Amino acid sequence: MVFGFSMPTRNIGEIVALMPEASTPDQTSELKDGFSGDVDFPYANFKVLATVGEIDPVTKKALTGYPDGQAAWLKDNDTVRVAYQSESYATMSNETYPWLMETGVKFTGSHIHFIDYDRSKFASFLNDNSGPASQMFKTSGELFDRVFNAFGLEVKPKNTIKTDLAAKWGNQTNPDGTIVEFISGSPASGTTPAVKDMRLTQGDFFFHSFCGSWYEPANKYGAGIGLADDVWLTGEEWNIGRSMFADPDGSGPLTGTDVANGTMGLASIVVDIKNEVAYTAPALGQAGYEKLMPINSQNKDYVLIVASGYNHDINPAPLKVYVGRKGYDANGAVIDQASATVSERDKFLARNGLLYGQLYGMAADSATFATLGITTVDADTKMLDSYLTNASAPTTFSARYYPTSFRWDGFNTPEAVKDTEVFRWAQDGDTSSTGIKEANSQPTGYTFFNSDTKVEHPAADPDITKSRYVQNHTATGALIGVDFNLIAKEIGANDLDKNGLPDYLSANLTRILSGANGALTVDTGNKGVGHFDAKLNPNLQTAQKHIEANKNAMVAPDGLFWAKASDADVLIVDEDSGNDFGERKFALRIDPVTMQVLPDATGYFLAQAGGEKNPRALAGVAANPGDFQKARGSEFSGSWDVTGLVTRKADGTFYTKAELAGTGNQIVESSRPLDEHVFIGVLQQSTESGGAVAANKADYGGQIFQFNMDIPTGTPVYRLLDRADGSHFFTNNVKERDAITGAGFTYEGVGFNTPNKGTQALYRFYNSSKGGHFYTASEAEKNALVATPSSGFALEGNIGNVWTAGSAIAGSTPVYRLFNAGSGMHVFTTSQLERSTLLAPSTGWADEGIGFNV
């Protein structure tokens, strides 16, 4: 085994060796300390922006890890600001160096870093042969230097005076101001094992595990719609009691988790980016989140925020969103933004809808549960998990999002997290074995569609006219889409109780991928080879499946991002599964209307990383020489589209900050093809946590990078069902699709995508005598029909270019052609399932082979 050696700390951007890998190392050059592994990525290109442990050359402060959650925006017209946060756990992992606030209070644990880059160099960085990212580095720092706690007070250095609520932080403070101290530790004694001292040494308090951040610009959905300020949303993540608090009664039944449930819980944090101030916003909840992500409320008076997370590790609970009313205080009274007597805290939170609001959970009625195969409706069980893993269940259903009876009512009436909504989702009036009847918090006629609370990243639809998002259901490996299609009518008007908030929100749900084996196969482009293991992977299986789980499906999906290009909608997925053979980062093309994966059940491999079987770890090497510590797992953790920041206009100039404000950035991004899109992403690489990372108190290793994708794309050809005769109609014209949808036709989604490099026209004919359309990629067949007008077929032109079956390129998708002699109709499909179903005995359909390839 070759171990690394100590090297001087590098400045931000100096390290060029990549942590992401295209395949397991199989060359000696890929096992050298300070060098990359295999970086011959099949469908992507990566380049290092910064590495955890590197330091700012002026402040000498290091970038900390795990990196988790990132975004970028224009600081000014010449500067791109990249921000990311570290998912750090203080003494549960390694304390980071102190983050000092203006008041003198210090925080260890998670940091939120920004790194400023020269815009012109940043725009060309990925595709030129320039040197390291340090050549475009300007400065770095932390995103805020003032922070307010769950009591609404600016935090100052810690003390134990109960009435001094400013000297407290919620994750170790009870509602009455009592500090709950962390475990003090003790040495081993006889048969009693040693207890680790969990008290902090690097700060008064700690920010626990900031996870899955979201940057939201003001007026993103149009003037006055969405948040009023540019904000960074983040949250502490999960119940810390399992590690940080002692069992209060020595031997149970109470545990440290119960102690944590009695505190103010975990902070939901909203950063006022302009003024560099962070506010705890208890209206968003105190139970901890993986991600808080706004989507379009379709109303200037309300905000709608997806609240995805662990419910303080209290199971089960439903998928959740937050609805907030803008301009109101916690009691539902209007706030005067011009008043000198109203605090800046309340002005900021109120205008962003974060003082008066409520959390809503997904619920269904008994008929819906029955349709989905849920035979026993019980709020105490994980019903959504059962549905998501039942591959034969319907893929779409309708639901409603209802609140419980709890609503946060102000900083002056603090509640412990256990007294908020967290237990109410499962309360359905059961009587316990001791005869005690619990409350019933279920909405009338509905039951919360509860599930395992391990649900991680959601992703917002970049189409700013929609109110949709997709959600990774991490516990089952499924992916589900949520569309608040009636929100414009409901959010401001559906209010029978006259409290200023909707009684419920209606939603259409789409299961995009089930958690069942066979739901997904990843196209690795002949790369993605897993690490060798004589027992578990002797034949070097690839990332087309999850090797360790031996499953063709997503396994513990975490990071998720939805990118919209002019030629494709793409979900970028990151798994967090403990895969010894390298965690996967891959892309899913989806139909922008139905949200279904294209081609069916297929993803595209972007990169892999880490794993305890990784030969680089076994050789003791790292991207930065000397940083190897111990072979562990890795995790990609999110992506962010920076295309609007790097795109030049026709005259060669960049879009200005003003032009990208509001809806501008989304418009620019969606106007560019996918191969012109540029992203940033992060990788958590705990294997590389020694050396400079440890010396600089940066916790766990990782990397921030730029990347792009070159996955198969093309022009979508939409398929519609003619309800009159049962035939299928295909068009690549969106206006034609929309004009006939509902007018006798049912939209069925994208039938296939015609490739940009196809060499053969796909012709469309209309039969004027019998009705219906016919499609062919055969020049001979086309010419014969044109030469025979009596056949009734009239040529309408072509709907894109394809490949004939005999000239198809490797990796292309066959489109099967079937004929029904009785009706005279043809069917064209890429689905093997549809093909085999139609070819069953006595159906009347005959197989005509492959019509063409796409």
CB distance 442 to 309 below 8 Å:
no
d(Cα 319, Cα 264) in Å, to the nearest integer? 22
Q: What mean pLDDT is predicted for residues 664-670?
A: 96
Q: pLDDT band for position 837 (50/70/90)?
A: confident
| Statement: residue 6 has pLDDT above 90 | no
What pLDDT is stored for residue 7 in this prediction?
53
- Which pLDDT score is estimated for 714? 74
- The single-letter code of the amino acid at 484 is F
Tell me the C-alpha distance between 457 and 214, whole Å.
Answer: 10
At 527-585, the pLDDT tens digits run: 999 999 999 999 999 999 999 999 999 999 999 999 999 888 999 999 999 999 999 99
Mean pLDDT of 61-73: 97
Element (H, E) at 108: strand 106-109
C-alpha 260/C-alpha 269 separation (Å) is 19
Instruction: Output DSSP code: residue 177.
Output: S
Residue 369 and residue 446: Cα distance in Å, rounded? 10
Does 837 or 358 have the greater pLDDT score?
358
Q: Which whole number is the average pLDDT over 498-516?
A: 97
Looking at residue 531, the DSSP 8-state letter turns out to be P
- Mean pLDDT lowest for which of 474-478, 517-521, 753-757, 779-783? 753-757
Say yes or no to pLDDT of 799 above 80. Answer: yes
Phi-psi category of residue 797: left, alpha or beta, with phi > 0 → left and psi -120 to 50 → alpha: left
CB within 8 Å of 471: residues ≥ 6 apart: 306, 308, 319, 455, 457, 458, 459, 479, 480, 481, 482, 560
For the chain, the average pLDDT equals: 94
Smallest Cα–Cα separation from 257: which of 312, 311, 208, 308? 312
Look at residues 376, 386, 111 and name the one whose alpha carbon lies nearest to residue 269: 111
With cut-offs at 50, 70 and 90, classify the pLDDT of residue 8.
low
Q: What is the pLDDT of residue 1?
A: 33
pLDDT tens per residue across span 625-660 = 999 999 999 999 999 999 999 999 999 999 999 999
Lowest-confidence region among 19-28, 73-82, 631-640, 705-714: 705-714
Beta bridge partners of 357: 324
Q: Look at 121-125, 190-194, 527-531 and tell me which has the smallest mean pLDDT.
A: 190-194
**610 Cβ contact partners less than 8 Å away, ≥ 6 residues apart:** 19, 582, 583, 617, 632, 633, 634, 635, 685, 686, 687
pLDDT attached to residue 2:
37
First to last CA, the chain: 48
Contact 83, 232 (CB under 8 A): yes
Task: Give residue-wise pLDDT tens across range 706-753.
Answer: 999 999 877 788 899 998 888 899 998 878 888 899 888 998 888 888
pLDDT at 191: 83
The answer to whether 214 and 293 are in contact (CB under 8 A) is yes
Instruction: Give the containing element (helix H, strand E) for 340.
Output: none
**Closest to 695 (Cα-Cα) out of 34, 28, 60:** 60
176, 32 in Cβ contact below 8 A? no
Q: What pLDDT, on a 0 to 100 scale, did the predictor assign at position 3?
A: 37
pLDDT at 733: 84
pLDDT (0 to 100) of residue 432: 76
Name the region of 376 (left: φ>0; alpha: ψ -120 to 50; beta: rest). Answer: beta
Question: Residue 641's pLDDT is what?
Answer: 98
Q: Considering the chain, what percentage of its residues have pLDDT values greater than 90?
A: 82
Look up the pTM and report it.
0.89
Average pLDDT, integer, range 147-172: 98
Q: Could you give the percent of the chain with pLDDT greater than 70?
A: 99
Dist CA 20 CA 37 (whole Å): 8
- Can you give the pLDDT at residue 753? 82
Element (H, E) at 695: helix 691-695
Copy the structure tokens of residue 523.
């196209």
